[in-house]
Amino acid sequence: MNPNHKVVVEDLGLIDYKEAWDYQEILFKKVVSVKLANRELPEGQQEFTGNYLIFCEHPNVFTLGKSGDEKNILLNEEQRRQRHIAYYKINRGGDITYHGPGQLVMYPIFNLDYFFTDIHKYLRFLEEAVILTLADYGLKGERLEGLTGVWLDAGHPGKARKICAMGVRTSRWVTMHGIALNVNTNLDYFSLIIPCGISDKAVTSIEHELGNKVDMEEVKTRLKKYLSQVFELDI
């Protein structure tokens, strides 16, 4: 096992989005600062920067990525307040998405210099871990050409539906933000936005596809296992 593939895993439970974002920033800046300090050190004396993996759920919130369009939010500020839905413009890629209870959110803060410096490969690896997790529940997760995330019936234009959204940020080859897998998510909230700016495709969840609620801890364990396999992590 590569010693630089060691990962500290934290489960923050149900946590306010901004609080989790602030915590990500702390870890992100910590990794970056060690990387910068290592540049001044000779080979063999450099400090391990650390890698982190955060699991959590959020209270109802809409988040808009850097390339997003606020027109994809179908509620005004007053309507959001009445429904107790928070809203943040954030520094990840992608457009508008929803987070809420029953959705498994995962934030890897990885130093990609320890793995590979290829953001497209990184995204495909995240997708692969989700696809393997879904297969354990008899669901065939797929990629949709030109779009990130994991889909069901990707090859059928009228049936394609998104089950896992992705949006990441990288700087100095350190990652943050990540994935949102709909497990037991209340899908009604997605009707209040145009998810990821895509108006012609539906959103689904494991619960919706199977017809029954799924144990969140079990999904978390499976996703962690497959992430470890794909990235060869030492958790």
Token reading at 12: 């923050």
Do residues 8 and 31 lie in contact, with contact meaning Cβ atoms separated by under 8 Å? no
> Phi, psi at residue 226, to the nearest 5°?
-75, -35
Give the residue numbers marked as catalytic: 196
17 SS3 class: helix
Distances (CA, A) of 167 to 5, 49, 81: 22, 23, 25
In degrees, to the nearest 5, what angle opens at C-alpha 25 toward C-alphas 21 and 27?
115
